[in-house]
Chains A and B, each alone.
Chain A
Amino acid sequence: MICVKNKNEIQLQKKKRIYLDYAATAPVRKEVVKEMLPYFSDKFGNPSSLHSFGLEAKAAVSNARKTIANVINAEEDEIIFTSGGTESDNLAIKGVAYANKDKGNHIITSKIEHHAVLNTMKELEKEGFKVTYIPVDKYGQVNPKDVENAITDDTILISIMHANNEIGTIQPISQIGKIAKKNDVIFHTDAVQSFCHLPIDVDKFNVDLLSVSSHKIGGPKGVGALYVRKGIPIKPLFNGGPHEFNKRAGTENVPGIVGFGKAAEIASKEMKKESVRLTRLRDRLINSIISSIPGVRLNGHPKNRLPNNVNFSFIGVEGEAMLLMLDSLGIAASTGSACSSHDLSPSHVLLALDPDPVKAHGSLRFTLGHETTEEEINYVIKMLPGVVEKIRKITPRIEGVTTI
């Protein structure tokens, strides 16, 4: 039970800092920072230069490229470095749309994509493209049959994310890829949340484009990559030099790319072990919340979800209030409530699972990662029931809304 009696107590508890928002970003690994440093001072060359400074920078970029390609079973020259997941999504979707608009103007995606995908789709709709947004079931899963049924002669692209950032649900990418291939439609997947958490093989997935991001796996922010299968034409987002196989102009962010490569190397090596460890912690947290707090609902599929994702709706509690109280206890999490968003609208993902916005307002997301310990999860398990109880005491009784 939380009884923060005085300011000193608040300060004491503040010293403990538990970060459980890995879906938002992750701490940069120490080895990554170490690997990046030389590229700021000694090896600062432009990879396009022909002298030794340039060549050593070029080698570093090439090395990172190779590492990332290996993780997903791609060729080196199929990896394009970008400024992050958002740019990769934009490059994939707009790149394919503009390069293929003479073949058709219809795109299929899902209702629960990240805003980087959804807002890009909205832009394309303004330009005359037609987009079908496939709904999801109560677990947030896309039915491959729905994708197949949506395909028309005008369909040029399917974009379905591998795993969802809010609820963790994993999509049947291989099945969707098979359908896309059978119908000769280009297939993109946003793998920002799944890269180095789940095994990815671009051939097994039958995927043509795949977005990944550095900062989610303990690399620096501001760098990501897009896998583009050889032979898939894409129009670059902007023009300049011939960098990244003429697909993404601009002097490479060498330290960032080096950091990304190192993070991918470490994270992919640890992936098997980490996914077992995190799944265990995740399920402990999920089961404890279900058994110790009444009036809760797990959002997303109970088993077919990211190893590190926990997302619950709590009856009679608002998300931001929970977040702040947890923050005062040193626990950092996230919510899908309207009050916490910049435009005061609730999470579109939660609304896709259940159109009742009330459940979206009372949602809480914990995402675990490489620095999460068992002690930290124990602490959350200990403190969360008190937080929920305290806030519920303030809630008015509204039959069917706040009553359990």
Chain B
Amino acid sequence: MAKKKTNVKIKNSNKKKSSSISNNVTNSSLYTEKVMEHFMNPHNMGEIQNADAVGEAGNPVCGDVMFLYLKVKNNRIEDIKFKTLGCAAAIATSSMVTDIAKGKTLDEALKITNKQVAEELGGLPGVKMHCSVLAQQALKNAIENYRKKHKN
């Protein structure tokens, strides 16, 4: 009996995941409430003076550029800030990725996926999923730049 219950639970949570990633928007709104929250009041927005590493993704020609600034201590992301030029989704995904990455070790942070970022935001319209990819890329680039600088 207990086994059955667990199976059902897993099935349901999978369903939730796929629908939240693809399109969790109502007819009258482009974005979820969470995306709008992060867009209107972004978390960790700013620069870090003398950052331990900076990661960049996107380019102004395409319309989205993200910069992530890291402060690393004992292989852990002690502080992380972002600056982004782009649409609401770009700003929201950069904000969210800093939330997810803060406090994690560099290895843990590298494991963060773009799907995770989109999920935490309650989903993104299909055409905006690439913004979550940019956020993940900016983080990856920042960590790689850090590791290059600190080869020992």
A-side residues, CB < 8 A to B, are 4, 10, 316-321, 324-325, 328, 337-340, 342, 344, 346, 357-358, 361, 393-398, 401-402
Please tell me if the beta carbons of B65 and A398 are within 8 angstroms of each other in the complex.
yes
Task: Please count the residue pairs between chain A and chain B whose beta carbons lie under 8 angstroms apart in the complex.
Answer: 73
Q: List 5 A-B contacts (CB under 8 A).
A: A318-B63, A318-B85, A394-B45, A397-B83, A398-B60
Please tell me if the beta carbons of A339 and B85 are within 8 angstroms of each other in the complex.
no
Which residues from chain A contact B85 at a C-beta distance below 8 Å? Answer: 316-318, 394-396, 398, 402
Which residues from chain B contact A394 at a C-beta distance below 8 Å? Answer: 42, 45, 83-85, 91
B87 interface neighbour in A321, A357, A401, Cβ under 8 Å: A321
Q: Which of A316, A339, A342 has the most CB of B within 10 A?
A: A339
A344 interface neighbour in B30, B41, B91, B127, Cβ under 8 Å: B127
Apart from A324-B36, A342-B127, A398-B65: 5 A-B pairs, beta carbons within 8 A: A340-B87, A357-B61, A358-B61, A394-B84, A396-B66
B121 CB, min distance to chain A CBs, angstroms: 14
When C-beta atoms are compared, the residue in chain B nearest to A319 turns out to be: B87
B-side residues, CB < 8 A to A, are 30-31, 36, 39-42, 45, 47, 60-67, 83-91, 127
Which residues from chain B contact A338 at a C-beta distance below 8 Å? Answer: 62-63
A383 CB, min distance to chain B CBs, angstroms: 14
Q: Which label, helix, strand, loop or mixed, suits the secondary structure of the B interface? A: mixed
Given known contacts A4-B40, A396-B67, is B61 in contact with A318 (CB within 8 Å)? no
A389 CB, min distance to chain B CBs, angstroms: 14
When C-beta atoms are compared, the residue in chain B nearest to A400 turns out to be: B60
Please tell me if the beta carbons of A357 and B83 are within 8 angstroms of each other in the complex.
no
Q: Which of A318, A325, A328 has the most CB of B within 10 A?
A: A318
When C-beta atoms are compared, the residue in chain A nearest to B130 turns out to be: A344
Please, how many angstroms separate the alpha-carbon atoms of A96 and B97 in the complex?
55
A361 interface neighbour in B39, B40, B63, B83, Cβ under 8 Å: B63
Given known contacts A4-B40, A328-B40, is B83 in contact with A396 (CB within 8 Å)? yes
Please, how many angstroms separate the alpha-carbon atoms of A99 and B10 in the complex?
65
Which residues from chain A contact B90 at a C-beta distance below 8 Å? Answer: 318, 339
Please tell me if the beta carbons of B91 and A402 are within 8 angstroms of each other in the complex.
no
Please, how many angstroms separate the alpha-carbon atoms of A324 and B88 in the complex?
7
